[in-house]
Chains A and B, each alone.
Chain A
């Protein structure tokens, strides 16, 4: 029993002439609230929500839709009982037809036509009885809620589908591993799972894989990452992450846990040195942890490993130098084109000459040059401080705008 029940005295004549519309009004309010929630849920699903929560939200949406369909059937019965005709034909309400057709993509309109529950405008003039007008509007509101729900579902982007499939593959692989598999084995499982689950045409296997790898990194960098009982597992997750995206993250992580687990650092170094992308991974790890820490950890290794690391970093430095030279050549060519364009315009201000590059492109290129120069300086400092001033190309090293 509720603690307080308001008693409303209804005059006898009123109860006979006007059916109580309280239910309909509360249905209106509830529909509006439900509509808001469905919209918010779609907005949240558009972000990078974890798989479990994503599935729960989708399930809750589906459950709400079932209830909305039941409500529609109930209201249709109520209308029929009130003497109105209710059509269950897949027909859009007259008032919304024009605007909806204009604003919705064609495929959505087609898919909506298959929706079994749609309401048409009642055939009898609704001005006769006010309570019937309310029911009619309520049905239209309900149809609109369902339509928006459907639109939300069909609006899932390929990116989101790929992320979801990446999440599913990750969950399945981790469940199958049960904390017993090594990083490379986990990575293999994830690849297999993505091959299996990424079957929708919108799903991009590469994007799904990249997302799964990213998630591995996040899981291993969680709040309790330094807890002794988590270190081994986190280390394997990061090795799997490195396997999938070649980020050198396992090495970076091993460096961070070295005070407690120097064995992992050595293992990570040797693991990294056996990889085809060792140079890239090492430079990433150096970038991730900082030059000082990287150099300090390396000094504790045996001589052959140190020499191997230097070789890799030297090769990587040459690659970066070439990359920088190419970028700077492209930058000079663009500047030359821009000078020519300005000369043409000074001769004829009305000439139509496209700019050599947009401001955005220019900023991006300047930023790339700046980052490459910074990284090259670090590598030079690491390899040989004297070489720094002699070999680094003289690019624009000022901070990008």
Chain B
């Protein structure tokens, strides 16, 4: 069993997970911004 190879694979998969985490965080921020804009518009209109 080639441990170096397994480690390289683990590194690659961890990087992939990090990228997915970043994307998810960006989505959450965008969603929050949309909610804020929606709330502000509602406040202004009332």
Contact = CB atoms under 8 A, between A and B. Distances in A.
Given A40-B21, A49-B27, A288-B42, A60 B13 contact: yes
B28 A49 contact: yes
A27 B24 CA distance: 27
A220 B42 CA distance: 16
Contacts of B23: 53
Interface stretch (A1-9, A72-80, A337-345): A72-80
Contact of B24 (A57, A61, A78, A291): A57
B38 A221 contact: yes
Interface residue SS majority, chain A: helix
Interface residues of B, number: 27
Contact of B3 (A57, A71, A218): A71
Nearest to A26: B7
B1 A73 contact: yes
Given A71-B7, A218-B34, A60 B20 contact: yes
A30 B16 contact: no
Nearest to A289: B45
A26 B5 CA distance: 12
Interface stretch (A62-70, A126-134, A314-322): A62-70
B44 to A, nearest CB: 9
Interface string B12-27: 0110111011011101
A73 B2 CA distance: 11
B13 A63 contact: yes
Contacts of A48: 28, 31
A390 interface: no
A12 interface: no
Contacts of B17: 37-38, 41, 57, 60-61, 64
B24 A30 contact: no
B21 A67 contact: no
A99 to B, nearest CB: 26
A67 B3 contact: no
Given A44-B21, A60-B16, A50 B3 contact: no
Interface in A157-214: none
A230 B19 CA distance: 30
Contacts of A223: 34
Contacts of A53: 20, 23-24, 27
Nearest to B30: A223
Nearest to B45: A290
Contacts of A71: 3, 6-7, 10
A30 B7 contact: yes
A44 B3 contact: no
A49 B26 CA distance: 10
A41 B28 contact: no
Contacts of A77: 1
A79 B20 CA distance: 34
A361 interface: no
A26 B27 CA distance: 33
Contacts of A26: 7
Interface in A27-63: 27, 30, 33-34, 37-38, 40-41, 44, 47-50, 53-54, 56-57, 60-61, 63
A27 to B, nearest CB: 6
A37 B24 contact: no
A34 B7 CA distance: 11
A296 interface: no
A112 interface: no
Contacts of A68: 10
A6 to B, nearest CB: 16
Contact of B1 (A74, A218, A289, A290): A74
Q: Which 7 A-B pairs rank lowest in CB-CB distance, beginning with the nearest? A: A290-B45, A74-B1, A60-B17, A74-B3, A53-B24, A34-B14, A49-B24
Given A30-B10, A67-B13, A291-B46, 16 more contacts: A23-B3, A37-B14, A41-B21, A44-B24, A50-B24, A56-B20, A60-B20, A64-B13, A70-B6, A71-B10, A74-B2, A74-B6, A222-B34, A287-B46, A289-B45, A290-B45
